[in-house]
Structure 1
């Protein structure tokens, strides 16, 4: 048992699969970074004056600033500044090394020591401006390492005179010189701020990680442009704007460039060393260019603002982006969030990633930059993952199934600790399991009700079929849903699937029925990883006419969604396993009514001593008495699913990832299988045999509408 102290509450976690190094993410642990790196003055000279007193308020950057005697004078006057040595050079070079390793980790042929391998076919998707926004790169450990650097955060604390900051999940820049395989990077002078909202609103930044001289490409700025921004937009009010996806981006036309030139403004290439922080007011005209030398450019964009500038809705949106490992724009209040789906040759990149390769381990200070600790308890569940509006405290929560849901337990702990409601909804994954028995007679479907009827069964209506028993007891057995021949087919497919891992499993040799000879499972036979939830035979089972007909009759609609849940292959007498009962309900006690109907397709008879499903008949009718509270209602028919959940569901389908047993909500992808606490070396990201994608499959998966 492990204890986690969240400040005012202590949660106890039980389960052998939860490791202490994982928990440390949520304890008060601090990285051994320098807390006071040497801050070298910028090269711009200023006249010695009286320094501004500490605590004098945030910078206005309007031309009326009191002199500070440091880089802030450059920032106030020119609209940009270079904070020298914000990160020690050695650490900056280490971040760059990890970025190189990340690129090489795609195994597409890129070699940092061979510039001839710099080609779009050998790299992840990086646009002509060097920006990479997908593949969960914005949440790699090197990105969060840079964001949490004291010298970087400290600069923004000085700008705002505020330590309660949040940070953007912005892009990573990988600019390589002399590229001819992609469109050239042409000048694109712009401001990153809506002209209709004048004044200083956002301070942008980037941390430079490789030497960046006058000809090495990088940031180009127009010093002083921020101070005449309002004048410019009044003078150019009738000038047609360059189309943009957001009003918070303004592109300068040829006439606009001439106006700046007539005002005596010049464009300057900003040079920097590894570890320097470049800052600029969003109103300062700027762009970037490629290198004219052989020097690559690596940078991490960093933008911070006081948390007081964000609404609770902004913070909840930001929390969702953090949990899904997606990026944002440079605005830390996360008005727009991104996607991890990159395109290659017009199609989804087969190398897309939806989790970081190296997930970050954040200290307490850096975790606050996510904004999550600032979410009020009444707001913590407004996001997609937790739709309820209050936090339920649970003093003890078993996590035996947790490693099955999430390869990274930190995410699940975050969901529980800060999400409030999500823990009960994802506690166990036992719905629609394709089960293997040991004999050879009838074929059955077992349907279990997670609660009382939301379809308003009055207790009097009769159907003269299995539904009468189902509504009476909350469960039933439906005979001969598929033929014995089909059942034998599925059995053979499952055994062949186990053998395909080449771990020594032999269905005819009981000595090989051990964990060392089998892929990783939960409860001795539940398989959720290895892309197993999208194997062809699994989808064939889901789309069996008799199976679909059961749920169509139950819900009274053919427009259904199906879960991407796992399969069960339980081998008898497996000596390296310890079995114990785990009675539970697969529905949050705060969700009332029949919210989910679980199904298990059994391939051969399962007798009294053969193991398998154990139910308490009629217990569903006592669900509301046992848990006496009301909460949100969700249903299995497609029309009750939120579009955002359907969208995520479709994304998981396209990437062969599983879910819990909930078809229409609580869409949480299953993490990769762990063997001895690390990623199973036999892990698969695609099915051994991909399903035949039919119209029915696409509709059940949420990819296509009815």
Structure 2
């Protein structure tokens, strides 16, 4: 997206006006329920099914996961974390948020007058007036070492998250992404509607390469906004983008793919009405503890509230989630896994690709230095307060370390 020089250019070139339909999540009672989804709801797999060898005598949970992902390009597993576990993770997210706000306040103060007070969970008005950490499109928070926060590591290494990916890939030797969190507050200016994109390059990676995940911590409603997926859009990949029948769309994708130069993040042409079909654009009303799993070829984005404007709400966190992707260790070579350990030691947040080491902002020396300064401040703060906010390598238990480098490095 850095190739677009202004907000107006972004809006004109890749913001779609299509708004999602909000779908309730209904935990399935039996396998047959997945054949009976309606336009008004979407079936989820109850996590309790992962605690059984089979759903019935003929259909395993692994088969069901792959069937859902092949059919829709995404699946929701409900109840992966309990309400109490979600609340504990939220407390850790607040720990990180306050420290990140303090770091930003300090860095602003070294150059100019800070724009506001530091965030304080005991004074919710500071969410409206305080220094909130810098985010990217959709309120994603990849800086201030967020991928190494205690909240991120608590969820990333949770036994239930491991069980989902172990079932999906049929192996226990997995490495995890080191990406960050999503936190929105009620007086935040978020992205325009419809920044639809895919996270996999159709030229370079034409087949299945990754499943991405998001663990939800707060209720998703039309008043909060949330993740949006385009049902079945993974089936367009890759030919739709390489040989689009419409000449204007084909030119859009050819130019963008040339600009990507092998990278993966690609926006969808807002005039591509086949890809962004209004009836297939849905926002899932996730509950705390729900886990959304999607194919990286599936078109997706996040979406601000469609009903009550944020500003009319009292100051509060309205959305909280942690991004988690896992893949078999064999998909990453030993050099990549070693560099991942170095990223943990430097507390650099990476992308969702567990088999690549691509710190956000690494292409810009100024951004690298800025992120190092943010992390250094938080390290100093946690040392002074004797609390762990960002996890270093030595803070991780053996299982967590294996999620960085695999079991055999």
* SS at 1:206 equivalent: strand
Offset of residue 71 of structure 1: 5.0
Structure 2: how far apart are the matches of 1:350 and 1:67?
Answer: 43
Q: Distance in 2 between matches of 1:278 and 1:164?
A: 22
Give the secondary structure class of the aligned counterpart of 2:153.
Answer: helix
Deviation at 1:297, TM superposition (A): 0.7
1:331 match? 353
SS in 1 for 2:294: strand
- Contact 1:208–1:272 (8 Å) recurs in 2: yes
Equivalent residues of 2:72, 2:232 under 8 A apart: yes
Out of 274, 287, 290, the residue aligned to residue 276 of structure 1 is 290
The structure 2 residue matched to 1:131, chosen from 140, 152, 155, is 140
Query: In the alignment, what sits opposite 1:628?
Result: none
Distance 1:251 1:184, change over 3 A: closer
CA distance in 2, matches of 1:114, 1:351: 27
Match of residue 260, structure 1, among 267, 275, 285? 275
Deviation at 1:66, TM superposition (A): 8.8
Report if the CA contact (8 A) 1:125-1:344 is conserved: no
Q: Aligned pair 1:164/2:145, yes or no? A: no
Distance of 2:130 and 2:364 partners within structure 1: 13
2:396 aligned partner? 362
Over 3 Å counting, the alpha-carbon distance change for 1:350 and 1:154 in structure 2 is: closer
Distance 1:121 1:195 in 2: 41
CA distance in 2, matches of 1:344, 1:240: 31
How far did residue 219 of structure 1 move? 0.6
Determine if contact 1:202/1:281 at 8 Å carries over to the other structure. yes
Residues 214 and 113 of structure 1, relative CA distance in 2, 3 Å threshold: farther
CA deviations 1:557-610 (Å, max 9, x no partner) are xxxxxxxxxxxxxxxxxxxxxxxxxxxxxxxxxxxxxxxxxxxxxxxxxxxxxx
Q: Is the 8 A contact 1:225 1:265 kept in 2?
A: no
Residue 85 of structure 1 is matched in structure 2 by 79
Out of 121, 130, 135, the residue aligned to residue 112 of structure 1 is 121
Q: Secondary structure of the residue that 2:404 maps to in structure 1?
A: coil
How big is the shift at 1:214?
Answer: 3.1
The yes-or-no answer on 1:223 pairing with 2:231 is: yes
Q: Are residues 1:199 and 2:213 paired?
A: no
Matches within 5 A, 1:434-445: none
- How many residue pairs match? The answer is 319
Q: Which moved more, 1:142-151 or 1:102-111?
A: 102-111
CA contact (8 A) 1:342 1:348 kept: no
Q: Within 5 Å, give how 1:64-463 maps onto structure 2.
A: 70=64, 72-105=66-99, 106-107=101-102, 108-112=117-121, 114-119=123-128, 121-180=130-189, 184-196=191-203, 197-236=205-244, 238-241=250-253, 242=256, 243-244=259-260, 247-256=263-272, 258-261=273-276, 266-291=280-305, 292-293=309-310, 294=313, 296-338=318-360, 348=370, 352-354=374-376, 357=382, 358=388, 359-360=390-391, 361-371=395-405, 373-375=407-409
**Structure 2: tracts of 5 or more residues without a match:** 1-25, 37-48, 103-116, 383-387
Q: Give CA-to-partner distance per residue, 1:163-220, whole Å, 9 cap, x none.
A: 110001002111123424xx64442101100102222110001111111123311110
Asked if 1 retains the 8 angstrom alpha-carbon contact of 2:146 and 2:179, the reply is no
Q: Residue 118 of structure 1 aligns to a residue in which SS? A: helix
Q: What is the TM-score when the length of structure 2 is the normalising length?
A: 0.68
SS at match of 1:151: helix
1:247 CA drift (Å): 2.6
RMSD: 3.6
